Amino acid sequence: MYDKIVQIALLFDFYGQLLTEKQIEIIDMYYSNDLSLSEIAEQQEISRQGVYDTLKRAEKTLSEYEAKLGLVNRFLQQKESLSEINTMLDKILEKEENDVELIKEEIENIKIYIENLI
């Protein structure tokens, strides 16, 4: 799949505004600013354990939103489909003008991908 940092970043992009302000700050400090738990604890004036608990709770909440709503998964599937469509279009552009049947076949495949996206 993709590593945890990318996964959390995607989940945060889609669902981050549904977290509490404190969770948003801590996720941002930890993942975006690459601060350690101790550095965050010092800045937030809470214990390192408090930072850890808040971070894990926020990650769990983001994962629960994804499990229920599936927006990130759908986004990734759409991105993959669009990449496939782009590849198919490149193939069409490479075809000779007399390959009308092959071009029609590729266009039909593209239509299928687009219907699946809709």
- In the chain, where are the structural domains located? 4-69, 75-117
Residue 71 near residue 14, CB atoms below 8 Å = yes
* pLDDT tens, per residue, the chain with 118 residues: 358 888 999 999 999 999 999 999 999 999 999 999 999 999 999 999 999 999 999 999 999 999 999 999 999 988 888 888 888 888 887 776 667 777 888 888 888 878 887 7
CATH code of the domain occupying 4-69:
1.10.10.10
Q: What is the DSSP string of 20-82?
A: -HHHHHHHIIIIIS---HHHHHHHHTS-HHHHHHHHHHHHHHHHHHHHHH-HHHHHHHHHHHH
